């Protein structure tokens, strides 16, 4: 399966948010979307999710704007950066993930899928808790579990780990990688941390001022690309097969001298 974006443009008033966006992503592939603030990363995900209108995004040959809300929920799961949830229990959030298929009456299949998700994300101790009372890491796990229960073909994640501690960040990224590969999802994730972007994605779409400046396999990323993207001196170092990103700061030499 393939998600295809053709010549996507988006303007609000005279401000161009996205210009001539062309790319495609295949099943089992994680595309990281990176770039400075205001580059259009979240706007791009909102177009794919159908929150902003667009007639040039296709899933295989199906134009996404022709789908009803319910049909789209079966194809695309979207977890926004500032996801808000109504006051409901964790169990109710998970049930919501199956409503696009079964309406109010959940089937045996729905319950089996929920049990699998509860086990995979270790949610059993949280089921009766109100989602508003959970920690940031717990809440994100519940939301991604609910999103995956939609059995989507496409998973859209807008900075899903930005407010999590390192342990929960790692858990979230590993879960994303696992489900993308095992369920053959098309996953697009907005990330700020370049280390995570390089370790957990297959391709990187680099956006700056609403335009694609690079669309490249992650293993082929060069320091010069990140330097152009973020306007900061960058170097990449490989150690034991892992690539590490360093940003180099230039200080006025007078600040480095000790005054005696």
Q: Is the pLDDT of residue 53 over 60?
A: yes
Global pTM? 0.87
Q: Domain residue spans in the chain?
A: 2-88+135-256
> Phi then psi for 142, rounded to 5 degrees?
-65, -45
More reliable by pLDDT, 53 or 40 = 40
Q: What is the pLDDT of residue 82?
A: 61
CA distances from 147 to 72, 143, 155, 212, 240 (A): 13, 6, 8, 28, 35
| Most confident residue range from 70-74, 201-205, 249-253 | 201-205
Quick: pLDDT tens for 142-188. Answer: 888 888 888 899 999 998 887 788 888 888 898 889 889 999 999 99
Confidence of residue 7 (pLDDT cuts 50, 70, 90): confident
More reliable by pLDDT, 258 or 212 = 212
Mean pLDDT to the nearest integer, 236-250: 81
Q: Which CATH number fits domain 2-88+135-256: 1.20.1560.10, 3.65.10.10, 3.40.50.300, 3.40.50.2000?
A: 3.40.50.300
Q: Is the pLDDT of residue 251 over 60?
A: no
Nearest CA-CA partner of 21 in 206, 231, 217, 216: 206
Supply 18's token pair.
């996205």
Mean per-residue pLDDT of the chain: 87
Supply 204's token pair.
């990187």
Q: What is the DSSP letter of 158?
A: E
């Amino acid at each position: 399966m393939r998600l295809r974006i053709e010549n996507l443009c988006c303007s609000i008033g005279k401000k161009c948010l996205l210009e001539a966006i062309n790319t495609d992503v295949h099943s089992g592939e994680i595309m990281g979307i990176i770039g400075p603030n205001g580059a259009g990363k979240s706007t791009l995900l909102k177009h794919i999710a159908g929150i902003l209108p667009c007639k040039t995004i296709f899933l295989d040959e199906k134009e996404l704007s022709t789908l009803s809300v319910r049909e789209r929920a079966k194809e695309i799961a979207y977890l926004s950066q500032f996801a808000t949830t109504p006051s409901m229990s964790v169990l109710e959030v998970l049930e919501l993930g199956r409503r696009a298929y079964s309406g109010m009456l959940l089937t045996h299949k729905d319950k089996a899928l929920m049990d699998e998700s509860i086990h995979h994300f270790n949610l059993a101790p949280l089921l009766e808790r109100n989602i508003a009372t959970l920690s940031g890491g717990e809440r994100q796990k519940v939301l991604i579990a609910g999103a995956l229960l939609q059995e989507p073909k496409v998973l859209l994640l807008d900075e899903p780990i930005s407010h999590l501690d390192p342990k929960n960040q790692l858990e979230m990224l590993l879960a994303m990688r696992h489900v993308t590969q095992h369920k053959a999802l098309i996953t697009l994730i907005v990330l700020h941390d370049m280390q995570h972007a390089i370790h957990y994605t297959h391709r990187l779409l680099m956006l700056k001022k609403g335009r694609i400046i690079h669309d490249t396999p992650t293993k082929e990323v060069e320091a010069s690309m990140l330097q152009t993207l973020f306007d900061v001196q960058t170097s990449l170092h490989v150690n034991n097969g892992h690539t590490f990103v360093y940003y180099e700061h230039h200080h006025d030499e007078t600040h480095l001298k000790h005054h005696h």
